[in-house]
Amino acid sequence: MKRQYPMILTFVFGLIGFILRFSPILNEKYLNDLLSWTMAIAAFAVVIAVISLVKHHAEKIRRKHKDMIYSFVTFIGLIVMALVGILGHYMPGSIWKSIFDNLYKYVRTPLDATMFSLLAFYISSAAYRAFRARTWHATALLISGFIVMIGRVAFGPLMIFADITNWIMLIPTTAVMRAIMIGVGLGITATSIKIILGIETSYLGGGEK
């Protein structure tokens, strides 16, 4: 009951999903309803995200961790954003909507963009370490990376780098990405079949039978 029934459900719904793709009549009739239904179920997975976050920070506060003050910041951020967003959804012209928009524009967006831009500094230091390994692989990687970096902002006499960048993006990069894509496609297909047939069960987690 704890593992067998979920595996049977996976098999049944896997078959339904597979057949729906190949039957235009069933597809037209039931696809939207079934997609909405599974999306509605999947939407509740957000609850797991909230539970994990709350559990982690509640534990920090309970243990009086030295950084517990920041856990309160996370809680405040979560509660304010969720409440203001939902209130703003029901009252479109209200102050809640305006606060939600400002929270998104002036808090979430800058934080998101800055976090990702911070990675530029770390990938440079990682690249430096990688390029110190004096092999021809690292040299090819370095030269290609350098050309593309210059090529993306090329001007005047440096435009030659833009042309070489185009060539690199169109031929070697496309060839590699295409081969990877084919491998990924075959991998997804094989894994999906394994999941439906109950060979791959890691998504159910460990624990009791």
Partner 1 sequence: MGTILWSTFAVFLTLSIFSFLIKDNPFYKFAEHLFAGISVGYLVVITFTQIFIPRVWKPLMNSIDTGNILRSAFLIIGVFIGLLYLSRASNKYSWLSRYPISIVVGFGSGFAIAPSLNARVLKQLHSTVVEDGQSLLNIQKIIAFFRDPSFSSLYNATYGPLLVIGVLVVLIYFFFSFKNDNPVIKYTRTPALLYMMVGFGAAFGYTFMARISLFVDRMNFILNRWWPLIQNKLM
The footprint of partner 1 on residues 32-51 (CB under 8 A) is: 33-34, 36-51
Among 121, 132, 134, 157, binds partner 1 (CB under 8 A): 121
- When the beta carbons of 33 and 157 are compared against partner 1, the nearer one is 33
**CA distance from start to end of the chain:** 8
CB of 123 to partner 1, least distance (A): 6
Binding of partner 1 by 155 (CB under 8 A): no
Dihedral over Cα of 161, 163, 164, 169: its sign:
positive
Among 62, 128, 160, 191, binds partner 1 (CB under 8 A): 191
- Phi and psi, residue 107, nearest 5°: -120, -60
Binding of partner 1 by 161 (CB under 8 A): no
User: Site residues for partner 1, window 131-150 (CB under 8 A)?
Assistant: 137-138, 140-149
CA–CA separation, 95 and 111 (whole Å): 23
Total chain residues near partner 1 (CB under 8 A): 126
Among candidate residues 123, 139, 121, the one with its CA nearest the CA of residue 131: 139
Binding of partner 1 by 26 (CB under 8 A): no
Among candidate residues 9, 2, 42, 10, the one with its CA nearest the CA of residue 194: 10
Binding of partner 1 by 159 (CB under 8 A): no
Binding of partner 1 by 180 (CB under 8 A): yes
Binding of partner 1 by 91 (CB under 8 A): no
Which residues, other chains included, contact 204 with Cβ-Cβ below 8 Å and sequence gap of 6+? 3, 6, 7
Say if CB 85 and CB 98 are below 8 A apart: no
Q: CA angle at residue 74 from 71 to 79, to 5 degrees?
A: 125
Question: Per-residue string for binding with partner 1, 46-75, x by CB under 8 A?
Answer: xxxxxx-x-x-----------x--xx-xxx
CB of 3 to partner 1, least distance (A): 7
Among 25, 63, 93, 153, binds partner 1 (CB under 8 A): 153
Binding of partner 1 by 162 (CB under 8 A): no
Among 28, 29, 62, 110, binds partner 1 (CB under 8 A): 110
**DSSP type of residue 66:** T
Which residues, other chains included, contact 67 with Cβ-Cβ below 8 Å and sequence gap of 6+? 60
CB of 125 to partner 1, least distance (A): 11
